[in-house]
Amino acid sequence: MKMRAECVPCITRRILMEINEVDPSRAMEIMSECTKVLGENIYNGVASSECATKVHKKAYDMLGTDPYLKLKEKSNAQALELYPRAKEFVESSDNPFRAAVLCAITGNVLDYGIDKKLDEPGYLLNHFDELLKDDLFIDHTERMKELIQQSERIVFMPDNAGEIIFDQLLLEQIRKLDVEITLIVKGQAILTDVTVEDAYELGLDKQVDKIVSTDDFAVGFPFWNMSDNLRNALESADFIISKGMGNFECFTEVDYKPLAYLMRTKCQPVADTAGAPVRSNVAIVIE
């Protein structure tokens, strides 16, 4: 996805949030340096994820720590509290696969620094049932299931901490379709994204056949710097499942198919590209 003018305040708002999580006294110093990097990397046609990666890397280097560590713990705690309700929702459904997709997408609201109201403590806890009732604005789940059934190997790319708790309900449904699952997660801490350490800590290695690291620091997916292991995982997959907006912004710049995008549209540029209103749940298959 190409960067738009609306992406600029989104990036700076997130950088300021990161600074305030660690050391607000350095706000002017770090914002000054980050906005220089931002200015140097804005041009017509630049991929939003590529620009954002460079700016966030500057912030992380100056802060010297992961500013989202506590927020990730908070997200996991909220999700674990809701997990029994989500599990019941899936198990009582006439279409458990579709219900699991909806739960996985609903968990995508566990993100910080994009939509102010999502940053409110306990937002998902208080609005979980309401978010499920939003249903799927774009619903390609039947085709998604068909493509998985036709596959021998799939790649599943999670997005955020907390959200990954709900993804496990979908992974359970996928495992029933007799397919090999490779989980691709971040090699380095970036935003609230699931890292290799997070995956093992949550026991995801027991739910998939293989875990592969992106290795690099990247918002979304580092197509500009893929290891052979990472490239092989993608190119040997019969089907790719991409969670969240960051991955969406990256995969719309390349030609991997077939794949499914599962996400909540939390900003106008992503919503426009996906063909859905802001704050919609979408399950989009591209062939």
Q: Residues for the chain: how many in total? A: 287
Instruction: Indicate whether 130 and 265 sit together in one domain.
Output: yes
Q: Which residues of 184-220 are buried (b: 16+ CB within 10 A; e: fewer)?
A: bbbbbbbbbbbbbebbeebebeebbeebbbbbbbbbb
222-255 pLDDT tens trace: 888 889 999 999 999 999 999 999 999 999 999 9
Number of domains comprising the chain:
2
Instruction: Indicate whether 37 and 88 sit together in one domain.
Output: no
Cα separation, 206 vs 200, whole angstroms: 9
pLDDT of 137 strictly over 90: yes
pLDDT of 121 strictly over 90: no
Pairing of strands 259-264, 239-243: parallel
Provide the token pair at 282: 């979408």
Which DSSP letter does residue 248 get?
H
Instruction: Indicate whether 42 and 170 sit together in one domain.
Output: no
Domain stops at, among 17, 42, 63: 63
Average pLDDT over residues 108-127: 66
Provide the token pair at 223: 């197509």
Note whether residue 89 is domain-resident. yes
159-177 pLDDT tens trace: 999 999 999 999 999 999 9
pLDDT band at 8 (very low <50, low <70, confident <90, very high): very high
pTM (2 d.p.): 0.93
Range of 20's domain?
Answer: 7-63
Note whether residue 2 is domain-resident. no
- pLDDT for 110 equals 73
Higher pLDDT, 186 or 121: 186
- pLDDT for 278 equals 94
Note whether residue 19 is domain-resident. yes
Dump strand ranges (E) for the chain: 138-139, 153-157, 180-185, 210-213, 239-243, 259-264, 281-286
Q: Are 42 and 9 in contact (CB under 8 A)?
A: no
pLDDT band at 109 (very low <50, low <70, confident <90, very high): confident
Domain stops at, among 63, 81, 98: 63
